Amino acid sequence: MTELLKKVSKKSIDHEFYTPYPENYKKGKTKYIIVFGTVMSGLGKGIMSSSLGKLLRFKGFKLAPIKFDGYLNQDAGTLNPFRHGEVFVLDDGTESDMDLGTYERFLDIDISKSNYLTNGKLFNMILNKERKGEYLGRDVQVIPHVTGEIKLFLRTLAMKSESDIVLFEVGGTVGDLENMFCIEAVRQLMYEEGKENVCFIALTYVLEPEFLGEQKSKAAQLGIKNLLSMGIQPDIIACRAHNPVTNKVREKISVYSNVKIENVISLHDVKSIYLIPEMLRQGKIAENVMELLNLKQITSKDSEDKQFMQWTELTETIRKPKHKVVIGMTGKYTSLRDSYASIIKALEHAGAHLNSQVEIKWIETTEIENGKLNVESALRDVDGVIVAPGFGKRGTEGKIMCLKYIREHDIPYLGVCYGMQMAVIEFARNVCGLNGANSTEIEPDTKYPVIDILPEQKKIEGLGGNMRLGGKDVEVKKGTLAYGLYEKKTKIRERFRHRYEVNPKYINKLEEKGMVFSGKHPDYEIMQIMELPGKKYYIGAQFHPEFTSKPLKPNPLYYGLVKAALSAKKSQ
């Protein structure tokens, strides 16, 4: 052991390189596409990356997407939706950035913690290694150790996923302190893997001030210059803009950045993000990337065209829907739409399959709670309602007031996680006569804790007071609405993110008054789907059905809501 430590120490001292490779790793077997953002954040790097990935999937390539976020949190679990948008939950329980949801939806895959890296997660790995003596003989530095661990993370994903291409999105904007060493790491990756194995794509922004009436490229040029100064020569530049980017502007950016004009593409605003793959296909971006990486198409052209045709059938209904429904979204984060990103997409998926445009009416339940907004006026013109997920007391009484109106006026309803719990509370109060019924999350000393954290549940899930996270099996009761929606399956898998449950002590009382628990834990009395028979559509889920919804396969609960809303509208 001593000789081994001496050997490791001597090697570490004698060389400046720190480039650990996974066992049996072969350079060139996996290609890397790296996507950066310039000028400003929020341009849609994840959407652009996912759309490119979709086109490459049509050509037969296996892809592994990965997102890097510069914050020091180890994951997105503790981030406030107002600051960072929705927390997307992976099947393995990882609480991640919402862009990972975009990757899953576009690429029709399930990904894991191996596809997500933050500075917090990265530094934690490095410090653990340092304490174990794995950097013997060296002071641990950003270069080569932090950059080395980033490269190792990427190569490990390449090996583990057995992918043809790793699609790496560097979060934030070029110039941010938080991602500078990540950019340095991928510069080194190109140096080590060879230029033919790494493609750099920069997303930039073309301004179009209303008072000028023309597009300006200077901000885009300066953003690219910043990237060039860090040793990164982009191969492709995608120009985000409100309107199609003119040839004049594309030429300016091409000359300034040393990128061929055909690789400077317009990525302008469209009605739906699901139209972006068509835009990129017209610009032949996938073919350009394949040429840069010396890749040859795997599937036949007929197979590619068939898959693309299936995709365009979906997008055609998004472009020209025959029907329109209004879905009320009741929640407390309505001022930031990204807080409900997956719900919005799940509604879009369902609407497209029902040839309908789904218009969302945002209803801030805090305003209902404090009397600034009347329930009847808020819900009068909706065809269906989602009572959204959330945590904490604020806005809950507003949700309960909405649920009473929804139940009594038979408006199609879907409750998601907290939204289901609020429906149980409303039913307990107003139908079962349990006045003051509540959740112990909201009122710890409530007389009727119909929603609670139970000691036996903590033991079952091994949570120790933490959240129940990730994909779990749900047993579905035959003959129920849920059973029909899930194509008569008695076992389904959905994703959870919650702490509190329906209290088993009150299940009989709730069922006596007509509530049906149509989904439960396979082995224990933990209720996971609730419904009210005899209504047009009244169902709540303890899980988040939006996390498993895909464009070509909408989640059954959202599909059912939009379908019921359409029927309700037609019957009026």
Query: How far apart are alpha carbons 96 and 101 in whole angstroms?
Result: 9
Two tokens, residue 47: 């959407």
Helix (H, G, I), strand (E, B) or coil at 423: helix
Instruction: Reduce the DSSP state of residue 428 to 3 states and report it.
Output: helix
**Strand 449-452 relative to strand 501-502, pairing:** antiparallel
SS3 content of the chain, % helix, strand, coil (to 5): 45, 20, 35
Structure tokens at 203: 């997303």
Taking a C-beta distance cutoff of 8 angstroms, is the pair 541, 416 a contact?
yes
Q: What is the 3-state secondary structure (H, E, C) of 391-418?
A: CCCCCHHHHHHHHHHHHHCCCCEEEECH
List 239, 417, 426, 494, catalytic entry:
417
CA–CA gap between residue 368 and residue 348 (Å, rounded): 27
Q: Which of 95, 99, 81, 75 is nearest to 467 (CA)?
A: 95
CB 155 within 8 A of CB 206: no
Buried residues in 122-152 as b, exposed as e (16+ CB within 10 A): beebbeeeeeeeebbebeeeeebbbbbbbbb
Contact status, residue 181 vs residue 146, Cβ threshold 8 Å? yes
Q: Which segments of 268-417 does DSSP mark as H helices, in order?
A: 276-282, 285-292, 301-319, 341-353, 365-369, 375-379, 396-408
Whether 15 is catalytic is no
Q: Is residue 546 among the annotated active site residues?
A: yes
Residue 169 corresponds to which tokens in the numbers above?
């999105």
User: Catalytic residue at 367?
Assistant: no
Give the catalytic positions in this structure. Answer: 417, 544, 546
